[in-house]
Amino acid sequence: MVKRSTVIIIALVAFALGAGAGVGVWIMISGGSGEPSADVQSVAPTLSLGGGNTTSETPTPRNKVIPSRFLQAPEETPEATPIPSEPIDYARALYRINPDLSEVQFILQEDLRGVRIDVIGITNQVAGDFIVDYTDPTLSQVGAIAINARTLETDNSFRNQAIRGQILRSAEATYEFITFTPTGITGLPQEAITASGDALEFEIVGDLKILETTREVTFMASVTPTTPDQLTGTATTTILWRDWSIRIPNAPGVANITEEITLTLNFVADLVETETADSTDAQANDLGYSVGLFRISTESSVARFILQEDLRGTRIDVVGITNQIAGDIIVNLADPTQSQLGGIAINARTLETDNGFRNQAIRGQILRSAEAAYEFITFAPTSITGLPTESISGLGQSLTFQVVGDLTIIGNTRPVTFDVTVTLDTPEALSGTATTTILWADWGIRIPSVPSVANISNEVVLSLDFIADLIDSQ
């Protein structure tokens, strides 16, 4: 459920000192009181649905998460009570982490006076927003997650001071907060969610920042819409504290501190705002149409080839250009995977380089475009891969994908793959580029020997920079 979604971040690292151990060492550490300097919510940017129905009051908490407070889990866990299913009657919803019902935890191990123990740090000062798209969970989002590391508590006050003063340095304003910025989510279902009660399992990739270091991590997440008004979930990962340049000082009686730290977030998130299916459809149709037919503009587009040669002993780029290009593109804004690309034609007779003799050779001998049979180079697409499943709801979004098709030059046809990027710049125009590299000999092209020209590269880069104008829509 939750693309760019759900949860996470987690606080880090500390080491253990038993009660009374190392008092003389830590009594001199100034680690602060553990009181936050600012509300953690002010550090995590809030999300918005851009309209919709805002809830008038905070929902009554349900399914409260009970903090473990440094205790080990019981050996036998009671069987979970099934969550009753309730219908969900909106398309998208904005949820906000409830710190009173949530808990961030780190766990590592150390030898304390020769006994292996778990060191556990906990705080409920965590903030973050999630947008859940119930019609297509893959479109869900998660905002930045923030944790106030200054409020992390273990079972030992001297250890807490060390965390704030030396290890995480969270007593300093610069390092008070740990943040996690999601960059991708995998494993979310495409099927619509119509009722509460079912848990979703997926992975969240993002950038975890501790102190001055940011590194990519992956959280394993499980999220359940326990009611239409509330989510519960957990996210966990394992990191190495050295990767974040964290330093743990030596302490009497403490040895063999594990480098691995387990980070976990157990959370409850309350409903803040909703959108109905009708309002979602309206947002998707801000451009005024769902499917648009665009035609390449010859006035604003350029097709070119680039190869290299030695001219009188100097390596140069040979560039041929024309604006005589034609082709149509159908963009499906509601489902980009249904978009289509028509055949592309380029008038090879109009290709120009910086040399008139070379141009004559291209038309007469190389591409033979002076002959009517070979005047045009054509590309017939056969498939498109990499298009997103998410709808296009506004301007400026760039789509990167690949187009496979048949390229015909002087009567010879071979499959090629173009790397393509397209951007909807205005409701009436899109821009893009497509590029590939071929070997000219594969198409039966022959380049005659010319005095002062040598070492012509086998590879030719073909590219198309284009503007396409809207000519029809529905």
The mean-pLDDT minimum among 40-49, 98-107, 424-433, 453-462 falls in 40-49
- Domains of the chain plus CATH, in order, are 23-281 (2.40.128.110), 285-473 (2.40.128.110)
Question: Per residue in 202-256, pLDDT tens?
Answer: 899 999 999 999 999 999 999 988 888 899 999 999 999 999 999 888 878 788 8
The mean pLDDT of 424-441, rounded to a whole number, is: 91
Q: Would the pLDDT of 19 be above 70?
A: no
State yes or no: pLDDT of 457 exceeds 80: yes
Q: pTM score, two decimals?
A: 0.53
Instruction: Give residue 141's Cα distance to chain centre.
Output: 10
CB 433 within 8 A of CB 300: no
Are 200 and 189 contacting, i.e. CB atoms less than 8 angstroms apart? yes
- pLDDT single digits (tens) 377-421: 999 999 999 988 888 877 888 889 999 999 999 999 999 999 999
Report residue 53's pLDDT band, with 50, 70 and 90 as the boundaries: low
- Non-local (6+) Cβ contacts of 460 within 8 A are 305, 306, 307, 437, 438, 439, 440
